[in-house]
Structure 1
Amino acid sequence: MYQRILVTTDGSKLSQKAVSTAISLAGLCGAELIALKVVPRYPQTYFEGGIALAGEDIKQVEKAWSDAAQKVVDAVKKTAESKKVTSKAVVVRSDVVSDAVLATIKKHSCDLVVMASHGRKGIKRLLLGSETQHVLTHASIPVLVLK
Structure 2
Amino acid sequence: MKKILVPTDFSKQAENALQVAAQLAKKHGSEIYLLHMLELPLSQVDALSQHSELPEAMFFMKLAHKKFEQTMSQDYLDDVVVHETVDFNQTFTGIKNTCKEHGIDLIIMGSHGSSGFKEMFIGSNTEKVVRTAEVPVLVIKNEHENFKIDNFVFASDFKNDNKETYRQATELAKAFGAKIHLLFVNTASNFVTTATAKARIMDFIKDYDFEDYSISIYNDESVEKGILNFSHIIGADLIGISTHGRQGIAHFFNGSISEDLVNHAKRPVVTFKI
What TM-score, normalized by structure 2, do the two folds share?
0.42
Match of 1:141 in 2: 135
Q: How do 1:36-115 residues align onto structure 2 when only pairs under 5 Å count?
A: 36-42=35-41, 59-79=54-74, 82-94=77-89, 96-115=90-109
Task: Provide the C-alpha distance between the structure 2 equivalents of 1:91 and 1:42, rounded to a whole number of angstroms.
Answer: 15
Deviations 1:68-125 (A, max 9, x none): 112233444444785211121111112x111111111111111000112365749x89
Q: Which has the larger radius of gyration?
A: 2
Q: Equivalent residue of 2:54, what SS? A: helix
Quote the Cα distance in structure 1 between the aligned partners of 2:71 and 2:85: 10
Question: Distance in 2 between the 1:118 and 1:132 partners?
Answer: 13
Distance in structure 2 (CA, Å) of the matches to 1:144 and 1:101? 14
Q: Mark the runs of 5 or more structure 1 residues left unpaired by the alignment.
A: 45-57
Distance 1:73 1:79, change over 3 A: same
Give the Cα separation in 1 of the matches to 2:102 and 2:12.
26
SS of 1:100's equivalent in the other structure is helix
Q: Could you tell me whether the CA contact under 8 Å between 2:22 and 2:76 is conserved in 1? A: no
Change (3 A) 1:87 1:43: closer
**May I ask how many residue pairs the two structures share in their alignment?**
129
Contact 1:112/1:142, CA 8 A, preserved across alignment: yes
| Aligned CA distance change for structure 1 residues 97 and 36 (closer, same or farther; 3 Å) | same
Structure 1 runs (4+) deviating above 6 angstroms are none
Q: Distance in 2 between matches of 1:42 and 1:104?
A: 20
Give the drift of 1:19: 1.2
CA distance in structure 2 between the aligned counterparts of 1:97 and 1:80, rounded to whole angstroms: 28
Which structure carries more helix by proportion? 1
**Structure 1 residues 1-38: Cα deviation after superposition (integer angstroms, max 9, x where no partner):** x1100111101111111111111111111101111101
Task: Indicate the RMSD between aligned Cα atoms, in angstroms.
Answer: 2.7
Moved more, 63-72 or 97-106: 63-72
User: Is 2:110 the partner of 1:116?
Assistant: yes
Query: Partners of 1:108 and 1:9 in 2: how far apart?
Result: 17
- Evaluate the alpha carbon distance shift between residue 130 and residue 120 of structure 1 in structure 2; reply closer, same or farther with a 3 A threshold: farther
Residue ranges of structure 2 left out of the alignment (5+ in a row): 44-52, 142-274
Is contact 2:22–2:77 with CA below 8 Å preserved after alignment? no
Of the two structures, which has the highest relative contact order with CA contacts closer than 8 Å and spacing of 6 or more? 1
Identical aligned residues as a percent: 30
> Would you say the 8 A contact 1:19–1:76 is kept in 2?
no
* TM-score, L = length of structure 1: 0.75
Letter in 2 for 1:5: I
